[in-house]
Structure 1
């Protein structure tokens, strides 16, 4: 049961919302992260959350000198989109040089209307390691969630590496323990 109506899910993956017509616009937060070790690449992340209905489409656009907007070509950057309940996240990895030359825009389409957020030029030319552009009052919670997800991911990677090293050591000792075969 959602705060503004009933939500029914069917076996085929279809979701039906029965509402009183009230919609909540998504709260959008943009993140721009630079890393000097990332081979001249930068990551832009667009998070749309706390919306009803919980379906939003995020796309990345480039604005040309005349103010015209076009979709970012697939060949220009890697794009990833993830959907969860009441939250949609889109990430694009692009060349830093292209980010400084072009104006990138996160477009969020929702039943309540479309919203467009661009990375201001001052931030695109900034050389800080990481900066966050916040467009909501309560983005502290989403920042904490993002940091927690990063921490969990890092711990999982370290755990996998320790497991692989231990397994490799056991296999190495097993091979050494056999001796020459006759």
Structure 2
């Protein structure tokens, strides 16, 4: 069973990526709400959650520019909405700031001879606006802190996604192999 055949079962792929049903909720066919592990950002405890859209594309159609067109299928991951409990509750706080976070990723198999590697690329854009009261914290310090937190989070997600996808793909291959041998 090829990885392309595995990716044809979109619901299975989504369940492999978002395996913890207590922390995920399917919103529609392509979108999921995911609660992530709490983290410390500067002096605040933050509980992030995101609405994530999973899209499977094939045959080079509408691929991001960095993906070679010989790749037969890709899984696009787009974090379309964020909630950062702990930061979002600061609306009445004089130290309030707004954060805009755009995260997009692509997962695809890269074949080299008999071997296949799972490639995972994530692009992240962070921007924020500080209230005047937060002027005592240099903007570059905040930028570095947020970049570090979200890069750590994205690296953990990449490893988790890859690990779960590969484990589930191996289960899929074993199932298909048994089914075909009967």
Give the TM-score band, short-chain normalised. 0.3 to 0.5
Q: Calculate the TM-score normalised by the size of structure 1.
A: 0.33
User: Which structure is larger by alpha-carbon Rg, 1 or 2?
Assistant: 1
Identify, as 1 or 2, the structure richer in helix.
Answer: 2
TM-score, normalisation: structure 2: 0.33
